[in-house]
Amino acid sequence: MILWFLLLQGLALGPGVLTDGTVIKPVRSAGPFDEDHSPPLVPIPRLEEKVAIITGGAGGIGSAAAKLFASHGAYVIIADKNDTAGEKVVQQIGGRVLFKHCDVSKEADVALTVNYALEKFGKLDILFNNAGVASPLQTFQGLNMDDYDRCTAVNVRGIVLGIKHAARVMVPRRTGIILNTASIASVATGGTIKLIYNMNKANIPGITKVAAYHLGKHGIRVNCISPAGLATEMVVDWHKKFVQENIDRHTLEKAFLRCSPLNGRICTTEDIAKGALYLCSDESGYISGQNLIIDAGYTNIVDYDPMELRKKLKSASNSDSGSLSSATANTAESGNRDHQCFNPVVISKL
């Protein structure tokens, strides 16, 4: 059994050497030979003949996922309310990708999109609940409930509607995968995270767990994925509207790079698409109710540096009052470089 296990590992992961010195090479198909005189590796499609709906499919994460899913053999329906952008993505990818207009805040649109998958392909294997909107900068005491209702209709209600109608067609087949886009704002909070968006995204892991429990008995897996900060078109547009008109993608990427725990690397839409591919493939067959956080460990960082604290305490003791309120003011003013990178004010100064 051990030998067989090692053999499988060699086939799956590449060349390996057994304890007796036997070299195991990956399985290769017949075809043109490469430089080492071995036939080239053939990529294994991970979503062969699967049918997937991706809401918000015309945006950064959605279009990246659509391209990757299609390259792995899936038929993809891009569901988005931006018809022009959606059709453009279809033209760019071609082949296995279709577009369907869908405003996820409207139940009729969500139901029609799921029905469209049945009409075109006879089934629905995957729903990637990815549509979302950003919210204005607000405080609790000045919270605009119209803004709250508008954002929640997409970011929360839209997720629930997607789960409802995907379950409607998946339960009879006793199989299916639902993936919800959350955010690092689903597991963290702070002054640099937009209030309504923060509250909305905090709902998603909980909804995912509840859905995973109730749908698991029907063979349906439900997970969510939490991206780090991304300089997508939606995020750039938000900063142009609320922070600085002439801000651009390069400036945002520079800000994200400053706070990335992974030196010289920022999160990309392709990173999120690859995580989505894993959670929507059979490779994650016993994973359900989980939140995959793709942030290079950013949300694991505790904003506490003993040496920095000593400096702040010294500064507080040298101030006129030496009071706790003075020390708090100094702390708030100086902040921490790692966590200030998401502060719109700091970004606007880069």
The residues carrying an active-site annotation are 183, 197, 201
Q: Which two tokens stand for residue 38?
A: 């071995």
Q: Which two tokens stand for residue 41?
A: 């590796």
Nearest to 159 by CA among 185, 189, 196, 128: 128
CB 125 within 8 A of CB 52: yes
Q: Which two tokens stand for residue 290?
A: 């989980």
Query: What is the rounded distance in angstroms from the CA atom of residue 164 to the CA atom of residue 99?
Result: 21
- Cβ neighbours of residue 265 under 8 Å, at least 6 residues apart? 257, 296
Query: What is the rounded distance in angstroms from the CA atom of residue 61 to the CA atom of residue 41?
Result: 28
Question: To 5 degrees, how large is the angle CA 22–CA 28–CA 33?
Answer: 105
CB 97 within 8 A of CB 70: yes
Order of strands across the sheet with 126-129?
97-101, 75-80, 51-55, 126-129, 176-181, 220-227, 291-294
Residue 84 main-chain phi, psi, to 5 deg: -65, -50
The alpha-helical segments, DSSP class H, found in 220-280 are 233-242, 249-259, 269-279
Nearest to 279 by CA among 69, 102, 58, 64: 69
62 class by beta-carbon count within 10 Å (0-12 exposed, 13-18 middle, 19+ buried): buried
- Cβ neighbours of residue 193 under 8 Å, at least 6 residues apart? 185, 342
